[in-house]
Structure formats: structure tokens, C-alpha cells
Structure 1
Amino acid sequence: MLNIIKSILSAFFGIQNNRRFSQDDAFVEKHGIKYFVIIGFLVAILLLLTLAILVSVILNHIK
């Protein structure tokens, strides 16, 4: 599970390497893509919530 999260975060920030990509490809071939999709959506939602909270705090601090 931790490897999937690392892989998704690497892909989000564009720093995925060929070795990890090959490992991910083998995992998807064996288990399917559902784990990557579910965790990818969760990471995206967490990132958006974090950004929304950060912007809110900054805007409230400016006022």
C-alpha cells in the first residue's frame, strides 16, 4: 500500500522513474488498476482539501 502511495505521489509531481514504472506495471498486471484509481482519488482529494485550507488560512490572516 505504501508503495502505491509513493508511486502516485511521484506521478503527481512528475518524478516517476522507469524502475518504479515497471514495478507499477507489474502490479497492475497482477492485481488490476483499482488500487491505483482509489488511492489516486484519495490523494487528489487530500491535496485539494489541503490547498483549500491553506488558501483560507492565508486569506483570513490578510484581513
Structure 2
Amino acid sequence: MSGVLKIDIAETAEELKAVLEQQQRSSQRRKVQVLWWLKTGQANLSNSAIFVLSVNCAGSTTVW
């Protein structure tokens, strides 16, 4: 199936929110925030905001 991406996030929304609040580095905070948005349904993978946040730095999506 080309063009279909499925992500299973093991952490609960509450766990992600707690981790998000603990992050001190903005780069790490953005990554956790994207996961939290996806988990809570506030965003989906086709949202341009997700794309902008996840590829802000070259190669950052491969590091996750």
C-alpha cells in the first residue's frame, strides 16, 4: 500500500503530556508535542503543522 502510513504510539496521552511538560529542549519538546497531538486526535499525519514541526531540522525525522 503506497501512501499509507500508520503509527502506533505506545504511550498514553497522559504519559505524553507528562513527558511534554518535563522537556527543557525545544527540539525534544516539538517531537513529543507532535506525538501528543497525534495521540489526542488534535492533528493527523496530513496536517501541514505536523510536517513543519517534524522536519524543522534536516534529518530530524530519521532520528526519532
What TM-score range do you get, normalising by the shorter chain? 0.3 to 0.5
- Name the larger-Rg structure: 1
Kindly indicate which of the two structures has a greater share of residues assigned to helix. Answer: 1
Of structures 1 and 2, the one scoring higher in RCO (CA 8 A, sep 6+) is 1
Structure 2 length normalisation: TM-score? 0.38
TM-score normalised per structure 1: 0.38
